[in-house]
Amino acid sequence: MYSINREGYIVWTNDKQREMLGYQKEDCIGQHVSELYVDLASNRKVIEHLDKQENLRNYDAQMKCKDNSNKDVLISSSTCSQSSEFAQNRYFTYDITARKCMERALRKSENIFRLLTENLREVFWMTSINLTDPSQQQILYISPAYEDIWERDRQSLYHDPMRWIEAIHPEDRERVTEHFMDQVIQGGFDHQYRIIRPDGSIRWIRDRGFPLSDYSGETITITGFAEDITQRKATEDRLRLLESVVVNANDAVIVTEAEPFGEPGPRIVYVNEAFTQLTGYQSEEVIGQTPRILQGPKTDRKILDKIRAALETWQPIRVELVNYCKDGSEFWVELMITPITNESGWFTHWISVQRDITERKQTEMILQQNEQRFRALIEHASDIIILLDTDGMISYISPSIESTLGYFSQDFIGKPMVTWLHPNDQNKITKALSKSSQRQKAENIPEIRWRSIKEEWRFFEVIIKKLSEGTAFSGFVVTAHDMTERKKIVKMQQDLEREKELSELKLRFFSMASHEFRTPLSVILIAAQTIENYGSIEQAEKLIRNTQRIQSSVYHLRSMLTNVLSIARTEAEKVEFSPQHLNLYKFCSQIMKVLYEEQKEKMSESQIKFALDGTNREVFCDPKLLHSMLTNLLSNAVKYSPKGGVIDFSVTIQSEWIEFVVKDQGIGIPLENQSHLFEPFYRGENVGKVQGSGLGLAIVKRYSDLHGGQVACESVEGIGTTFTIHLPVSS
């Protein structure tokens, strides 16, 4: 306590005041009060109240100590004596330095606390406690991390704490809230549960809480931390999955230490069940050992050196090598070795996955042996074997190309197969390759021509087959069989056969001619002799009849000679095929008109019914050949029909075909003779004395072939015969 006059000078101080500041009495008396206060504001405040003669109440200030330290004080003042000549104010000072230090420490602690909680990745929370009604608990504090993890406004929890429970996944809610308060009272809780964010996404939370008590031991708040463990959960799930994969994998798995690389090598720390099944070693037999126990005489040293080089540079490596079982039997493995690092990136282990490829290696060995055999067969085969890629380019051709065509194999590599083919055959190969690429069935080309190095055309039969690797199309294999010599032999055989047939034809012809020419010539001779004896007009009727017989015989001879010449030209392949547009109705009518004129006597005993079905339009045929075909069929029908017989002659024009049908009611053809009908000079056994050369039907068949058509016969002996010709509309 101290007193000052109106001018602000200290006039009195008690011992406590001096003791608090460390001054002696003489240090204080007469000193201006402004020298006691640290800050200017405090000086101004004191002087202001002094001037106004007002009292201070609990004013915070800092006073200077003699040792230059400061004291926090609480100041109050009162006027203790006042007159016109004298006034004195008394000031009471209370030392609050200790309290101020505590307040500053508390504020500092609060700032540090807030700084920590607001920058934590975890959610720090604090709630009140209500044992009778937990729903009435209040959120005292929740850190900003709540908004990042829950994606909800934390202010909403201050107004409605139950929103925390609403965010918990329905399947976890009851488990979390059921014994929440009991667990808190008993010392805390540690829960893992799921929350549902507003966007529907789910996060895993680990929430830990514990009670805070006052000095009396009574629980006053609950404090805790909540963290997002979604990533950890996913990692744990992956680890469990990987553990399950490793444990249940069909491939052998070995885990070793990271070092040493030299002798004796990294030791084994884990093997799975597949390893024991593959090698025969139990896990306890190999743990602590090195993978060297699997090596043996046939283990490739170069491969082991390659593995060591990869290990020394911490690089993964994949190799194939021979290992050995516990019983000493060997097996092939595909070995994949990978380094394992910890969270700091430090290499801690090696994991080795070993797949048994013994069966595959054996298969590869068999395939390699077979390939060598097949290559030997291919390279010594007389046929040309060609491999084409998917674009039809030659990737391989067997050496037989040299002996067959005179070329070297390398002349063909990378070139299309069609390069050396006859221009008219190139499209055959192109089409066959296209078809073969669409199906597994082989495509056969009966004949193509390939140019030899001597500029000669050689004939080949070609088979094309698609090649596949799995389900993928990879190209073609082509087999070309040289049939040039065979064609020559076949041609020689055909020539010999033709000569034989010609010899038979000659015999038949001379036999026929000796008979057929003799008969009409005899008729002509007798008729001429008879005419010489006709001297009167009364015998004119006989003259006309004999003249007609002469004409008929001449027509017959002319027809027979025409047929002989026609068959001779077809045998010599000298018949010219010259199609042109024809009006069938007019054409057929003209044929029947000529037939009536040339066979008046026979036609007077028969009737031809002609019908044309279809549009009366032009068709494209050779008129000479068609005239000969129809004349022969109609002449035969007339010739072999009984007196008064009816012959049906019909023509039907369809979209692509013309159908000619000649049907008679004649003697018919024996079944056993029908297969020889179209052979030159062949006549049925039941023709009797009916004249004929046996050439007509042969001509019909050959002229039909020239048109690209067909001819068929249906006959029943004693009932009649039907001949049908089908010719394309556009020959």
Can you give the pLDDT at residue 725?
Answer: 94
Least confident of 95-109, 320-334, 682-696: 682-696
Can you give the pLDDT at residue 185?
Answer: 66
Residue-wise DSSP of 154-219: THHHHH-TTHHHHTB-HHHHHHHHTTHHHHHHTT-EEEEEEEE-TTS-EEEEEEEEEEEE-TTS-E
Q: pLDDT-based confidence at 693, cuts 50/70/90?
A: low
Distance separating alpha carbons of residues 182 and 369, to the nearest angstrom: 79
List pLDDT tens digits, range 311-339.
888 899 999 999 999 999 999 999 998 88
Residue 132 confidence (pLDDT) above 70: no
Can you give the pLDDT at residue 385?
Answer: 85
Q: What is the pTM of this model?
A: 0.34
**What is the share, in percent, of the chain residues with pLDDT greater than 70?**
79
Distance separating alpha carbons of residues 226 and 121, to the nearest angstrom: 9
Least confident of 271-280, 344-353, 540-549, 574-583: 540-549
User: Other CB atoms closer than 10 Å to residue 21's CB: what's the count?
Assistant: 23
Distance separating alpha carbons of residues 49 and 205, to the nearest angstrom: 61
Can you give the pLDDT at residue 195?
Answer: 92
Q: Give me 703's structure tokens.
A: 């002229």
Residue 649 confidence (pLDDT) above 90: yes
Least confident of 378-387, 448-457, 519-528: 519-528
Q: pLDDT-based confidence at 689, cuts 50/70/90?
A: low
Distance separating alpha carbons of residues 585 and 591, to the nearest angstrom: 10
Can you give the pLDDT at residue 504?
Answer: 66
Residue 723 confidence (pLDDT) above 90: yes
Can you give the pLDDT at residue 332?
Answer: 92
Can you give the pLDDT at residue 322?
Answer: 93
Residue 660 confidence (pLDDT) above 70: yes
Distance separating alpha carbons of residues 419 and 451, to the nearest angstrom: 9
Q: pLDDT-based confidence at 521, cuts 50/70/90?
A: low
φ, ψ at 224 (rounded to 5°):
-165, 175
Q: pLDDT-based confidence at 384, cuts 50/70/90?
A: confident
List pLDDT tens digits, range 483-505.
888 888 888 888 777 777 765 66
Q: Give me 313's structure tokens.
A: 């540079």
pLDDT, mean of residues 447-455: 88
Give the residue carrying structure tokens 């032009």.
618
Least confident of 57-71, 114-128, 394-408: 114-128
Can you give the pLDDT at residue 651?
Answer: 92
Higher pLDDT pick, 33 / 319: 319
Quote the strand ranges of 545-674, DSSP E.
580-583, 607-613, 618-621, 646-653, 657-663
Residue 538 confidence (pLDDT) above 80: no
List pLDDT tens digits, range 620-635.
888 888 998 998 899 8
Can you give the pLDDT at residue 564?
Answer: 60
Can you give the pLDDT at residue 692?
Answer: 63
List pLDDT tens digits, range 262-281.
677 889 888 888 889 889 99
Can you give the pLDDT at residue 565?
Answer: 61
Can you give the pLDDT at residue 559?
Answer: 60
Q: What is the mean pLDDT of the chain?
A: 80
Which of 310-314, 375-379, 470-474 tops mean pLDDT? 310-314
Higher pLDDT pick, 513 / 164: 164
